[in-house]
Amino acid sequence: MEAKDSKLSFEAALAKLEGIVESMETGDVPLAELLAKFEEGNKLLKTCETRLKDAELKIEQLKKTKEGVAFTKFDTERPA
């Protein structure tokens, strides 16, 4: 599941996370399923955070380029 989630776009991961939160908020989820959803939600949250941090780094690099600093290739792959 984790490798699959890490390949999701920010928007897809966020939509999936929102769906999990909505289903958990109903209160009709058995405890075992609730725990599984919580764990999946945590993984999706980390995916979203990673995507946001990558975007922030890219924006900072683009700002530096605009300010006359040399642009370097942006590597989106993070070590596992």
The pTM of the whole model exceeds 0.85:
no
Could you tell me if residue 11 is inside a domain?
yes
Radius of gyration of the chain (CA): 17
Identify whether the C-beta of residue 37 lies closer than 8 Å to the C-beta of residue 29: yes
* Assigned domain for 51 exists: yes
**Of all helices (H) and strands (E), which one includes residue 15?**
helix 10-25
CATH number at residue 48: 1.10.287
**Identity of the residue numbered 14:** L
In a domain, 77, yes or no: no
Classify residue 71: in a domain, yes or no. Answer: no
- Over residues 34-50, the pLDDT tens digits come to 999 999 999 999 999 99
For residues 5 and 9, what is the distance between their CA atoms, to the nearest angstrom? 9
**Half-sphere exposure of residue 29, counting CA atoms within 13 Å on the CB side?**
16
Residue ranges making up the domain that contains 18 = 2-66
Across 15-21, average pLDDT: 94
Structurally, the chain folds into a number of domains equal to 1
